[in-house]
Amino acid sequence: MASRSVNKVILIGNLGRDAETKFTPSGVAATRFSVATSRRWKDKESEEWKEETNWTNVILWRSENLTNYLLKGKQVYVEGRLQTRSYDDKDGKKVYATEVVAEEVLLLGGQVEGQNAQPQAARAAAGGGGRSKASGAGDDEMHVTDDDIPF
């Protein structure tokens, strides 16, 4: 009997900090950022509106050209998969980290407060269709066109 499973995450939220790109020893770019998503609900007892914000760490492979556009406060669409990894900290204690490994990232329209940006629906793009595909080894190289630049 074949078993089925799904590991898919879709986030629409705001960047909590500017993206940072670092390179592995073999030269592969790893771009990291965090996305804030919120939910609101009305408390049944107090009749007051409550809000909860969740922060999700995201890693995007082989897309260093997007770092300049992934700025704190920008709204983004992220599609990918959950991954949990472990490592030993400096005291030898095992630490677990869960993050989203992004396969697609789209910059959504709107302005970041304090920035003089033009209204846009800019997309972090590669290859075609205006989407950034960054899933892993064997992917085609990222290509940025004039349509990808938000100004």
- Whether residue 144 is contained in a domain is answered as yes
The per-residue pLDDT string of the chain (151 residues; one tens digit each, 9 = 90 and over) reads 578 999 999 999 999 999 999 999 999 999 999 999 999 988 889 989 999 999 999 999 998 888 889 999 999 999 999 999 999 999 999 999 999 999 999 999 755 555 544 333 333 333 333 344 443 433 333 444 545 444 3
- Whether residue 72 is contained in a domain is answered as yes
CATH of the domain at 73: 2.40.50.140
* CA distances from residue 145 to 82, 128, 137, 142 in whole angstroms, order as listed: 30, 10, 23, 10
Question: How big is the CA angle at 106 (ends 133 and 67), to the nearest 5 degrees?
Answer: 80
Which residues constitute the domain of residue 115?
9-148
- Whether residue 67 is contained in a domain is answered as yes
Instruction: Count the domains in the chain.
Output: 1
- Whether residue 50 is contained in a domain is answered as yes
- Whether residue 110 is contained in a domain is answered as yes
**What whole-number distance in Å separates Cα of residue 15 and Cα of residue 80?**
16
